Amino acid sequence: MSKLNKTLDTVEKGANRLKIGCMAVLINLFFMAFCLWGVYAGYISWKLQTSGEKTEGTVVRLNEQSDSEGGCCTYVPIVEFDAGGRAFSFEGGTASDPPAYRVGERMPVLYDPANPETAQIDKWSERWLFPILIIPAMLIAALVTTVVMFRAWQRGEDLED
């Protein structure tokens, strides 16, 4: 093997390592963003549980949502409640098919008295399911990605092979 070929192999291996490192960082930033979204959702649930006011709300309509492939449909409740003499509404935290709620159904609501627009249906699955699922899922995905990328980086292999 000539000196030029050896140098080219070394440069190629270094370029592949750089590409793998950059990809690992970007993918983990993506996972971290979703993890932080889960932390924020958990914080809001905790804040409402510890300092929120409880009232009763009513499902005023169901928002129909379709998936990215045009398939139909899941339903998210729009809940209205009164706080301080004013009416507020918010979208429930989970979509389902068939709908989990009916228009006109009454349910407990927790809201922030300082900002009544921050509200949630006072039901465990509405308040805690998302953070409990998303945070560990993103941490596990980041760990697996990091291990796979680190092993590829150690070998200096091209990920496209």
Type and span of the H or E element at 19: helix 3-51
Nearest-angstrom CA–CA distance, 69 and 58: 31
67: in domain:
yes
Kindly report the number of other CB atoms within 10 A of residue 54's CB atom: 10
Q: Is residue 29 part of a domain?
A: no
Residue type, 109: V
Q: Which two tokens stand for residue 94?
A: 């989970």
Domain assignment present for 33: no
Written as six digits, the tokens of 133 are 């699922």
Reported pTM: 0.76
Residue 124 to residue 109: CA distance in whole angstroms: 12
**1 lies in a domain?**
no
* CA count, 13 A, side-chain hemisphere, 159: 18
* Structural domain contains residue 30: no
| CA separation for the pair 156, 10 (Å, rounded) | 10
Q: Does 73 fall in a domain? A: yes
User: Residue 137, SS3?
Assistant: helix
Local confidence pLDDT in tens for the 161 residues of the chain: 688 778 877 777 777 888 888 888 999 999 999 999 999 999 999 999 999 999 999 999 998 887 666 667 888 999 999 998 899 999 988 888 888 899 999 999 999 999 999 999 998 988 899 999 999 999 999 999 999 888 887 776 666 55
Domain limits at 119?
38-151
Classify residue 28: in a domain, yes or no.
no
Q: How far is CA 90 from the centre of its chain?
A: 18
DSSP label at 94? -
Confirm whether 137 is domain-assigned.
yes
Q: How many domains does the chain have?
A: 1
